[in-house]
Structure formats: C-alpha cells, structure tokens
C-alpha cells in the first residue's frame, strides 16, 4: 500500500468515525464514490445525506460551476466567482461526505477501484460517475486553440479576453494606421450556447461599448453565426427556432445556416454550403458546435455512443454493472424513443434518483426506474429576449420579454448559494440599467490568432487589389471588380446594404491560392471604419 493510498484510507475511516452512527456500524457502511461535482454529482451527494453510507466526492476542481451562466462571464456581465461555489462549502454540513480534489484517471470495475491523477487509488462499493462532457472538434483538435469553446471558467475568461482585446487592438491600429482589420466575430454552432454567445457579443458591441472608444465604432463589428443544419436552436420546436433566428437578425447577428465548417485557421474560418466553399476573416472565432463525453465513460469499459456517452438502462446502470451509476451529460439514456437531453434538469433528477435506488437496495426492494420529468427549455437572445418551451406546470411556447423574465427567475432560483444569487441579481440590475459591464477585464496574453497576419497583409481593399492582380496575371484590378469566373468573392457587409447571404467560391479555387494570400477571398468591398482620418470618431 503506498503512502497516498494509506492517506485516503485513513481519512475515509476517520470520516466514518465522525458520523452520527456508532464507529462499528460506520466501518461496515458501504462507500459511495461520486466522481464529478456538477449538477448530477452534487444532487447525488445531497440525496445520500440520510442513508447509511459514507460518500467520497472527487472532482478535479474545487468548485461546482453553474454552466448556464458561463456565457455571461465570457461577455463580462458576471465574474467567475458569481457562478461558482466551492464544493466543500456546498457540502460542509453533510457529515457523511468527504470531498477530494483530484482527477480520476483510471477505473478498474472488476476490482471496484479508481486510480487518481495524484497516484492514489480509491475503492468503492458503489460508483457514481458524473463527469459530464467537453467540446468536440470532430477530430480536428488543432482548432481548439484557434476557436475556444465554452465549458469552463478558463474558457469563459479566454473568450472574454479575445472579444475585448479585438476592440482594443482595432482602436490602437486605427490610431496608428487609420484602418484596422475587419472586426468579425464568428460563432460556430447555433445551439443554445452559440445563440447566447452571438446575441451577447452583438449587445456588447452595439450597446455596452458604444461610448468607450474614440477611433472605432464598436457597433460596426459584425457577428456571424454559422450553423451546419438548416435552423438555429435545432432541438427547439420550429416556431421557437424561427423566432430565435428573427430576434438574432434584429440584433444585427448574421445567421448563416446550412454551412459546414471545413477549416479554422488563425484569423479565418472556412465554410462549405450548397454553393461551394467560402473563407471568412475572423478577428475572434468561437466554438459551440459539438460535445464529446468525458473519457471516463470509455475507461469504464461499458458500451458508449458515438459521443462517448455511456449507454445506461432506466436504473442508470451500464450493462452488467449494477453497482455503477452513470448520470447527467455522460449518460446516454432514451425515454419514449428519444434521447434525454444533456441539460441541467435531467442531471439533477438523475442525481436525486441515486438515493432512491440505494434506499431500495438497503430495504431489499427492487430499484425504482428513473423517469425524466421534462419542465422545458430556454435560451436567451441578447439583452432582453429569450425563447422558452414551457412543459410544466402547463404547456406553452414563449418568446421575447416574458420568456426572458422566466429565464431570469429560473436561473436565480437554481443558482447554488445565497451569495451567488444576490451577486448575480445585483450584477444584472446594474448591467441592464446602466449599460455598463463590471467585469470587462482583459487578463493574460495581448495577442489574437491571425491579427498580426491581417495587419501585415494591409487593409482589405489593398489586399483585394493585389490578389486580383495575381489572378489577372499582374494587372491590378479595381476593388469589387470582376475577374471572370475566378475573381475574389465578397462577403457583403452593411456598406453593401445590410447583411446578406454568403457568396461562395469554389473549393478548387480556394485551395490552390490560399497559400499565396490567406483571407483574400472574402474581403469587404469597402472596409469598415476606413473612411475617416485616424483621429476622427466614426
Ligand atoms: C455554456 C453552457 C451553457 C449551458 N446552458 C444551459 C442552460 O441554460 N440550461 C440547462 O439546463 N443546461 C445548460 N447547460 C448544460 C448543463 O450545464 C449540463 O447539462 C450540466 O452541467 C450537466 O451536469 P453534469 O453533472 O452531468 O456535468 P458537469 O456539470 O459538466 O460536471 C462535471 C464535473 O465533473 C468534473 N470532472 C470531469 N472529469 C473529471 C475527472 N476525470 N475527475 C474528476 N472530476 C472530473 C468536472 O470538473 C465537473 O465539475 C449548459 C452548458 C454549457 C457548457
């Protein structure tokens, strides 16, 4: 037995001794190990408070994160501490729980033993696995650093850094050179996270920063939401999905559906739609397009779906492992022929259900089956609008302001901790009435992928001429002019009379020339914010 193992075992028996039952009965109590302190893990731990078990909750970080409000950290409304709470604090009054901050890296389901990142091992009688999901880049993991996703506090502060920095770099470039690269914010994926991010970036650009810069006009930044399927919020009913798209367009977000991402590079994104391929300049690219399960699902050795989520039955057990429960986003469970969605409500309900099943075990009864009680879904779209599919206590589809009020109420209610509820509510009141965002901090690195390359390449207008000149065999062509079937294609902007559909070039064209001039295909006919002198406000 190594020292760390000894430590864990000594610790675990001391916790058993501290419990209200006698020391003898504590020693023989089953040990439930919960991996993951998200919605599912915390609910499972709390549910076990009154059962004769000792619980070890292991999480690689020391806090529970309220992911539904992460985008508000990313867009500077809230600070990280407003939406996170130490797991120890949440469970501090529950005597039968100990909390370990460590990462589980191995599972031996035959020996009922976990291996931790620290090198220790942890035995269990029952295992509750609730380690959630991460971002999937569909096998292109090299895109992750170019297009961060939004799953953690680190992701949120990185997104905040990039979005705010883009405006700062544009202002500085404008002061020094009288032009700046296009301020395009490209959000990939129009599920709830993508829609919320796009709406919030549009808000920050159009409303919250409009008085803060002297040389650029933040409101002229463009927000492009790219979606592979034919609608935004694909999991929502068609009427709400259409309303969401309408609200996004009213916020100035350019919604491009039916566009698959074929490439992400420093400062650009490449898409393919029914008309061919296109390359879009991007000051900031954000990823909200896919999820993949925590690797622990595969380590369990049970069957998993294509995302890596563990197939479980209605007792939340993988086949042949009745002492293992897989919960929350990590579980693949179908009910009435439909996959239970990876959102907070099922995770909480599955967590609560673990206690019901263990109570049945101890009473010698059959475990009750889990059934998801669907109360509905919601997504916000900008400052004061949302869409809501209400499934309980009555059925309704809401959009706009009423849906937004419902969204606020539900989120305040489900936030863990009174301090966080008060802090979040106060920040919202402050933000919505003063049009300022308290958490507009840029921390860390002061560079953006691709920005330097855009600056070196020169103003989009000049690049357009030089590329056309290349295509036309050295003869300069006019900006926006035609160059036969091979000329550069343009992505229309507001100077062309408002946002429009992508104009797509052919893949062959792009591939053969992208080595010569990155970003040359899609430039603005009239670059934004170039018309005035470096020191004038535009
Ligand atoms: C940006 C965003 C917005 C969302 N908005 C909404 C919304 O509006 N409404 C809604 O219902 N749902 C929303 N969701 C989904 C919701 O947050 C998830 O469904 C829910 O968090 C799933 O809970 P979980 O307990 O399964 O996993 P998580 O909450 O992801 O928790 C997993 C935990 O496991 C820990 N962990 C992972 N691997 C290990 C390991 N190897 N060892 C130890 N610990 C580990 C992690 O640190 C984490 O604490 C959103 C999600 C995101 C990312």
* Residue among 73, 131, 296, 388 to mutate when testing ligand 1 (max atoms within 8 A of CB): 131
Q: Tell me the pLDDT tens digit for each residue of 194-214.
A: 999 999 999 999 999 988 999
Is there an atom of ligand 1 within 6 Å of 59 CB?
yes
Instruction: Give 482-522 pLDDT, tens digit per residue.
Output: 233 333 333 333 333 333 333 322 222 222 222 222 333 33
Q: Is the CB of 134 under 6 A from ligand 1?
A: no
Q: What is the 155 CA–ligand 1 centroid distance (Å)?
A: 13
**Ligand 1 contact, 58 CB (< 6 A):** yes
Average pLDDT over every residue of 517-537: 32
Which residue, judged by its Cα, is nearest atom 50 of ligand 1? Answer: 68
C-beta of residue 103 within 8 angstroms of C-beta of residue 117: yes
pLDDT in tens, 396-408: 999 999 999 999 9
Residues annotated as part of the active site: 196
Which residue, by CA, sits nearest to atom 53 of ligand 1? Answer: 151
Q: Is 296 exposed, middle or buried (0-12, 13-18, 19+ CB in 10 A)?
A: buried
150 touches ligand 1 (CB under 6 Å) = yes
| Closest of 267, 245, 255, 259 to residue 183, by C-alpha | 267
130 lines ligand 1 (CB under 6 A): yes
- Pair 459, 453: CB distance under 8 Å: no
Residue 448, both tokens: 């953006």
The protein residue with its alpha carbon nearest to ligand 1, atom 42, reads: 103
Q: What is the mean pLDDT of residues 301-311?
A: 97
Contact between residue 512 and residue 527 where contact means Cβ atoms under 8 Å apart = no
Non-local (6+) Cβ contacts of 261 within 8 A are 188, 226, 228, 269, 270, 271, 272, 289
How would you classify the pairing of strands 276-281 and 268-273? antiparallel
Which domains are assigned to the chain?
Answer: 3-60+102-135+291-362 (3.50.50.60)
Q: How far apart are the first and last CA of the chain?
A: 70
3-class DSSP assignment, residue 86: strand
Q: How far is the CA of 132 from the centre of ligand 1 (A)?
A: 5
State percent of the chain over pLDDT 90. Answer: 74
Give percent above pLDDT 70 in the chain. Answer: 80
Q: Which of 33, 38, 43 to mutate to test the pocket of ligand 1 (most atoms within 8 A of CB)?
A: 38
Per-residue pLDDT at 437:
77
Mean pLDDT of 410-431: 89
Specify the pLDDT at position 27.
Answer: 58
Q: Whose CA is nearest to atom 19 of ligand 1?
A: 343
């Amino acid at each position: 037995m190594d020292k760390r193992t000894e430590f864990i075992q000594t610790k675990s028996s001391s916790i058993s001794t501290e419990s209200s039952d006698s020391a003898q009965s504590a020693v023989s109590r089953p040990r439930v190990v919960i991996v993951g302190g998200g919605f599912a893990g915390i609910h499972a731990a709390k549910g076990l408070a009154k059962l004769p078990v000792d619980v070890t909750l292991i999480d690689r970080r020391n806090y529970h994160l309220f992911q539904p409000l992460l985008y508000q950290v990313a867009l500077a409304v809230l600070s990280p501490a407003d939406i996170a709470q130490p797991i120890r604090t949440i469970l501090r009054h529950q005597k039968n729980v100990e909390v370990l901050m460590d990462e589980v890296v191995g599972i031996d389901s035959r020996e009922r033993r976990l291996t931790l990142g620290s090198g220790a091992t942890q035995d269990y009688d029952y295992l509750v696995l609730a380690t959630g999901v991460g971002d999937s880049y569909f096998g292109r993991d090299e895109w992750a650093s170019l297009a961060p996703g939004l799953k953690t506090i680190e992701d949120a502060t990185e997104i905040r850094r990039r979005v705010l920095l883009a405006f700062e770099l544009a202002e500085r470039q404008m002061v020094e050179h009288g032009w700046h690269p296009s301020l395009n914010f490209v959000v990939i994926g129009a599920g709830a996270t993508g829609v919320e991010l796009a709406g919030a970036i549009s808000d920050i650009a159009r409303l919250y920063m409009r008085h803060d810069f002297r040389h650029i006009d933040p409101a002229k930044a463009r927000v492009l939401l790219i979606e592979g399927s034919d609608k935004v919020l694909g999991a929502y009913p068609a009427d709400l999905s259409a309303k969401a798209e309408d609200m996004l367009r009213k916020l100035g977000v350019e919604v491009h559906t039916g566009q698959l991402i074929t490439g992400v590079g420093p400062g650009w994104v490449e898409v393919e739609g029914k008309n061919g391929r296109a390359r879009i300049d991007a000051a900031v690219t954000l990823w909200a397009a896919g999820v993949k399960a925590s690797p622990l699902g595969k380590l369990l050795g049970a069957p998993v779906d294509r995302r890596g989520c563990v197939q479980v039955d209605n007792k939340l057990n993988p086949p042949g492992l009745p002492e293992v429960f897989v919960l929350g986003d990590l579980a693949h469970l179908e009910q009435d022929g439909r996959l239970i969605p990876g959102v907070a409500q099922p995770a909480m309900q599955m967590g609560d259900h673990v206690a019901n099943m263990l109570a049945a075990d101890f009473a010698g009864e059959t475990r009750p089956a889990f059934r998801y009680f669907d109360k509905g879904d919601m997504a916000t779209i900008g400052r004061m609008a949302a869409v809501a599919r209400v499934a309980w206590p009555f059925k309704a589809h809401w959009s706009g302001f009423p849906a937004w009020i419902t969204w606020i109420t539900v989120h305040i209610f489900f936030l863990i901790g009174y301090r966080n509820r008060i802090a979040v509510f106060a920040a919202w009141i402050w933000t919505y009435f003063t049009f300022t965002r308290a958490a507009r901090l840029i921390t860390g690195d002061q560079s953006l992928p691709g920005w330097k390359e855009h600056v070196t390449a020169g103003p989009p207008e000049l690049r357009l001429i030089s590329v056309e000149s290349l295509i036309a065999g050295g003869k300069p062509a006019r900006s926006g002019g035609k160059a036969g079937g091979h000329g550069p294609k343009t992505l229309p902007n507001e100077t062309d009379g408002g946002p429009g559909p992508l104009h797509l070039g052919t893949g062959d064209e792009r591939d053969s020339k992208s080595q010569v001039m990155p970003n040359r295909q899609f430039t603005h006919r009239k670059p934004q914010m170039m018309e005035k002198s470096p020191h004038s406000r535009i």
